[in-house]
Amino acid sequence: MDFFFEPNGIAVVGATPEPYHGGQYLVTNLSLGYHGPIYPVNPKYHEVLGLKCYPKVTDIDGPLDIALIFVPAQAVPQVLEECVMKGVRGAIVESSGFAEVGPEGKMLQDRCLAIARKGGLRIWGPNCMGYIDTSRRYVFSFIIPEAWKELMNPGHVSLIVQSGLLSAGFITTLMANKTLGLAKVCSIGNKSDVEETELLEYLLKDPETKVVALYLESFVKGRRFWELAASSNKPIVVLKGGKSALGGEAAASHTASLSGNHNLIEGVLKQAGIHQADDFFEMVDVARTLEKDFYLQQPPHGKPRIAILSYSGASGIVTTDHMEKYGLTLAHLSPHIQKRLEELSPSWMPVKNPVDYWPAMEKYGPVLTYKHAIEALHDDPEVDGIIVHLFAGFGIWFLNMEEIMGEIKTPRKPILFWLIGHEKGREPTRLTLEREGWPTFSEIHRTVRVMASLFEYKGRKSIHSKISPFDFINSTPLRERIHHADEQGIKILDEHESKKWFKAMGLQVVEEMGIKNLDEALKAADRLGYPVVLKGIIEGKAHKTELGLIRTNLWSVDQLASAYHEMLASKIKPKSFLVQPMLKSDLELIVGTLRDSQFGPSVMLGLGGIWTEIYKDTVFRLAPLNQEDVLEMISDLKGQALLNGYRGLKPINTESLGDWLIKLGGLALNFEKIKEIDVNPLLIVDGEPIAVDATIILQ
């Protein structure tokens, strides 16, 4: 990838001297920063902006690593052929009209890719805005020159954006705000060839990059992306576009229907320690704050402890409300710090967190009081972070922030500012704070959200410590069952066969007996003991409840016989039946696996039974798992209290539940023919998980 970032020679195909045209902007932008050879290419001109212009790429007579292509989509294949003939290493195709416009565009894009791969040429794009490197002032893009040449703010946040024109407007806005210090910006568009994983790997090694932020609509190599992120020492922030469920109604199992797109990806990204954002500016706010290298002390117990310094009781209350939502808590101030704060506060105004310091400001002025309070709170060992409410205006409220913050020594705890006021006072204050490394925000909820993000995923282990051997895979009974299914060409294993697999893995399943007639059913019930459950088995069908093939709470011979005859009289007649004891459970869960097209085998945990599709309280992680992942999955459930011994119920045995999740993930990871595993419900009986229904789907 180095030749894209440090090219020796650049051709601009579609260059033109015409004003207000992308082909002119490309040449102008290059000439303002790039010092290597620039070759305009356009058969209409002999010269473009003082540079010799060539009819074709093959006519260029100098060193040439990459071509910036800005011609109509239909002309791109011929240009790529010329690039291959010339020995060009990479092409950044900034033209649109490819896969983003429909099937015909996709065919054209595939044709371009075939030309490139046959000739050993790498394609960046198409339908993209190219690349910017602020430290070198490289702008390989048709962005308007006035949008960047006076506004470029070098820094250490790199962006990968799966977008074309949006990235231009977005980057222009960020530069104009002088809020975000950028290292590199990569607009990758349709990513037909060069994709986010390659760029992420490059940026994680880039000395100029401290934080990587990405806007993505899909993952080309999901598992590789996850591995890079999980083992990275640099923070990564992702905004995932397209959060709707994909194909849920047509899914063969509950696990597939509940995964959707966003639900699974959210769990996978969290597992990798990736910070997740919900909009573009939140992504940037999180990234630019992570860049500051704040000292993040972890609270000894529970949530991060935050101090709020305010001039308004109301804003302190609102901030506290948002903290509860984002997993933060109010710090209990140390007694000696409270005394320091009371030095400026009148006796009639007790000091507590949130610290309402308005009376002190009225008496001593804002500069002295802000300086005194911020330094005191920063010194408090019981405070992990500080949110300061700041008003900037005129007169004494035209604040000298260098004076106020000048005595805060490293290591610096995170101090974030909610800043309001008239623009004439606010903007100089904001710019000073940002220049000195103190992030400012215009909304309380965003300030709190970013503070919370700083403490997310701190101290996670490398993924290599997660991988453990799956000894159960080599058990003879399990391998025999797998071989049998493969030999018979079975695609959907019924619950009886599925549970035989689980039993061979050392997992606890309900005792059951297969029967073919009523006499066998009655004998099975006598042996198992009433009440019982009767289930009809239909080959190739996973959902029995919807087909009326489950009867529960059968307490007598007459009830069992009646249920049996009703199933035989139904339109869908079972070929065989199961009789199970009716277990009394405290809770129903659903667990399973899904082979995701982007990330591979993932594991699901959720609230199960008949409420599965209604509440959809589920979490996902990639296999392989360890017990730490299991505990995190439990904590992510909205109904986690039910697993922890709600209202006198026995808490679930998390090691036993972990055994289920770890082994199911290991099974899917080791056998590629497993498409989905669905265990619903997994009953919790006296704290222990027991499978009473299951389906394994093969591909």
531 preceded by cis ω (within 30°)? yes
SS3 466: coil
Mean of pLDDT values over 346-366: 93
Which of residues 448 and 424 earns the better pLDDT score? 448
Q: Alpha-carbon distance 613 to 600, whole Å?
A: 23
Q: Alpha-carbon distance 160 to 167, whole Å?
A: 9
511-582: CATH superfamily: ATP-grasp fold, A domain (3.30.1490.20)
The full DSSP string for 631-648 is HHHHHHSTTHHHHT-GGG
Phi-psi region of 489 (alpha: psi -120 to 50; beta: other; left: phi over 0): left
CB under 8 Å to 402, separation ≥6 — which residues? Answer: 432, 436
Q: Alpha-carbon distance 491 to 362, whole Å?
A: 76
- Which residues, in sequence order, are bridge partners of residue 509? 691
Looking at domain 305-454, its CATH class is: alpha beta
pLDDT > 90: what percent of the chain? 74
CA atoms within 13 A on the CB side of 202: 19
Whether pLDDT at 257 is above 60: no
Phi-psi region of 678 (alpha: psi -120 to 50; beta: other; left: phi over 0): beta
* Cβ-count burial 672-692 (b if 16+ within 10 Å, e if not): eebbbbbbbbbbbbebebbbb
The full DSSP string for 410-424 is SSPPPEEEEEEE-HH
pLDDT the model gives residue 468: 53
Q: Alpha-carbon distance 192 to 208, whole Å?
A: 27
Mean of pLDDT values over 256-278: 81
CA atoms within 13 A on the CB side of 427: 6
For the entire predicted model, the pTM comes to 0.90
Q: Alpha-carbon distance 305 to 332, whole Å?
A: 8
H or E element, residue 665: helix 654-670
Dihedral sign from CA coordinates of 328, 330, 336, 339: positive
Whether pLDDT at 226 is above 50: yes
Give the pLDDT band of residue 253 (cuts 50, 70, 90): very low
- The string of pLDDT tens digits covering residues 293-327 is 999 998 887 899 999 999 999 999 999 999 999 99
Distance, C-alpha 259 to centroid of its chain = 14
Give the pLDDT band of residue 610 (cuts 50, 70, 90): low
What are the contacts of 400-406 at 24+ separation with CB within 8 A? 400/367, 401/429, 401/432, 401/433, 401/436, 401/438, 402/432, 402/436, 403/367, 403/371, 404/367, 404/370, 404/371, 404/374, 405/371, 405/374, 405/433, 405/436, 405/438
Dihedral sign from CA coordinates of 247, 252, 257, 263: negative
Rounded to the nearest 5°, which phi and psi values hold at 549?
-105, 20
Give the pLDDT band of residue 614 (cuts 50, 70, 90): confident
Tell me the fold of 129-294.
Answer: Rossmann fold (3.40.50)
Q: Alpha-carbon distance 683 to 622, whole Å?
A: 23
SS3 275: strand
Q: Alpha-carbon distance 366 to 540, whole Å?
A: 74
pLDDT the model gives residue 171: 75
- The string of pLDDT tens digits covering residues 450-483 is 999 999 865 444 444 344 557 778 788 888 888 8
Tell me how far CA of residue 576 lies from CA of 399, 522, 534, 695, in angstroms: 81, 14, 11, 16
Q: Alpha-carbon distance 308 to 304, whole Å?
A: 13
Runs of H (alpha helix) within 366-435 = 366-379, 401-405, 423-435
- According to DSSP, the β-strands at 211-216 and 236-240 are parallel
Whether pLDDT at 255 is above 70: no
> In CATH, what number does 466-508+585-699 get?
3.30.470.20
Decide if 287 contacts 237 (C-beta within 8 A): yes
Q: Tell me the pLDDT of the chain averaged across its residues.
A: 90
- List, by residue range, all CATH 3.40.50.261 domains of the chain: 129-294, 305-454
Q: In angstroms, how far apart are the furthest CA atoms of the chain?
A: 98
Mean of pLDDT values over 40-65: 97
- List, by residue range, all CATH 3.30.1490.20 domains of the chain: 511-582
Distance, C-alpha 152 to centroid of its chain = 29
Residue of 281, 284, 203 whose CA lies nearest to 237: 284
Give the pLDDT band of residue 48 (cuts 50, 70, 90): very high
The residue written with tokens 């000696």 in the block is 336
Q: Alpha-carbon distance 323 to 90, whole Å?
A: 48
Report, in angstroms and rounded to the nearest whole number, the Rg of the chain calculated over CA atoms: 31
CB under 8 Å to 550, separation ≥6 — which residues? Answer: 533, 534, 535, 536, 544
Runs of H (alpha helix) within 505-549 = 518-528
- The string of pLDDT tens digits covering residues 26-41 is 999 999 999 999 999 9
Residue type, 255: T
Tell me how far CA of residue 232 lies from CA of 204, 210, 272, 639, in angstroms: 7, 11, 9, 32
Mean of pLDDT values over 205-220: 94
- The string of pLDDT tens digits covering residues 471-518 is 778 788 888 888 888 888 889 999 999 999 999 999 999 999 999 999
> In CATH, what number does 1-127 get?
3.40.50.720
- The string of pLDDT tens digits covering residues 531-581 is 999 999 887 665 666 677 899 999 999 999 999 999 998 888 888 999 999
- List, by residue range, all CATH 3.30.470.20 domains of the chain: 466-508+585-699
* Cβ-count burial 591-624 (b if 16+ within 10 Å, e if not): bbbbbbebbbbbbbbbbbbeebeeebbbbbbbbb
User: How many helices and strands in the chain, by DSSP H and E?
Assistant: 25, 31
Write out the two tokens for 72: 């109509």
- Which residues, in sequence order, are bridge partners of residue 591? 605, 679
| Length, in residues, of the chain | 699
Mean of pLDDT values over 119-137: 95
Mean of pLDDT values over 210-236: 94
Q: Alpha-carbon distance 549 to 656, whole Å?
A: 30
Report, in this order, helix, strand and coil percent for the chain, each rounded to 5.
40, 20, 35
